[in-house]
Amino acid sequence: MTQRPSQSRTRLVMGNWKMNGSLLANAALLQALVAGASRARGAQLAVCAPFPYLPQLQELLAGSLISWGAQDVSVHEQGAYTGEVSGSMLRDFACTWVLCGHSERRAMHGESSSLVAAKTSAALALGLAPVVCVGETLADRDAGRVEQVIAEQLEPILGLGAAALNKLVLAYEPVWAIGTGRTASPEQAQAVHGFIRSALTRSEAGQTRILYGGSVKAANAAALFSQPDIDGALVGGASLVADEFLNIAAA
């Protein structure tokens, strides 16, 4: 019999718009999400959007059941860092969340796990809730290096200590299943989530939520969410379609 997830961990379904959106399209999407948010049946809903759209999220989501955040944050508080955005700037737009170490940032911008930990620490210092992403490539999986890669990515995060770990969220996103249409089976996802949960438990943070991210759709959400250590989803492309995103949350 499948064990149900801990009832003490509130489900979280978070949309990552990546580099998508326009003022017009966002307005329609956000209005539909606000209207249908009750379909989430007790799960938390959140949206992480590109920096220019944070004022729009603040305007349209304030007072709703949906929280919001950004897709990256600087390790610096202020100064001569052209193109960077600090945590205090995100707070000006009432952000709750910030993604740290998304696989696209690691791959395209060379972000190391130590830098991801530094960004996580900077976000926590300003009262933001980091969603820290970890995950392996297809080459890593085929080489049997999944746990080694995840452990290496987690090491500097675990080094922040239990107090920090209990304030953040982790997201497991197998790189080979992001935007490819391929999804880890519920059993594959649970195996890695269980490995992460064990590492968190040893660090006195066993109740930290762990999301799954990797081509999550309404059609596979219920099977993924039935696993004991999957506490929700970090949703990419499907978060741009209101009905699909709400159906994932309803699962």
Query: Active-site positions?
Result: 102, 173
Cα dist. 244→53, 155, 166 in Å? 21, 35, 30
Place of tokens 């499907």: 238
